[in-house]
Amino acid sequence: MVQHTDPHAPHSPQCQALLEQLGDYIDGELEASLCAQLEAHLSSCRDCRVLVDTTRKTVLLYRQHRRESEIPLPPDITTRLWQALQDNGCVE
């Protein structure tokens, strides 16, 4: 098997870090200090603002359908969201 990089990977380390914390952030479970860092990044990164907004809506819908509050995010959700954003031209 040949390893290859994900062509849809975020383009900065800050964006990557945000993605890794996105689930906890949306759940309101992120540490306050990390939350502040993440929000600071959001204020300067339009791509991530779109991503957080889209993800939050997706998660809320997902949970309403399941009527559960403790279902973890599907592991590929952020990958699929990035793909969707790129398809829509929201991410360069």
**Residue 30 vs 48, nearer CB to Zn ion:** 48
* Minimum CB distance to Zn ion, residue 48 (Å): 3
- Binding mask 38-67 vs Zn ion (x if CB under 5 A, - otherwise)? -------x--x-------------------
* Minimum CB distance to Zn ion, residue 51 (Å): 8
d(CA 46, CA 69) in angstroms, rounded, equals 28
Contact call for residues 73 and 59 (beta carbons, < 8 A): yes
d(CA 84, CA 78) in angstroms, rounded, equals 10
The CA-atom distances, in angstroms, between 12 and each of 19, 57, 58 are: 11, 24, 23
91 sits near Zn ion (criterion: CB under 5 A): no
Interaction site with Zn ion (CB under 5 A): 15, 45, 48
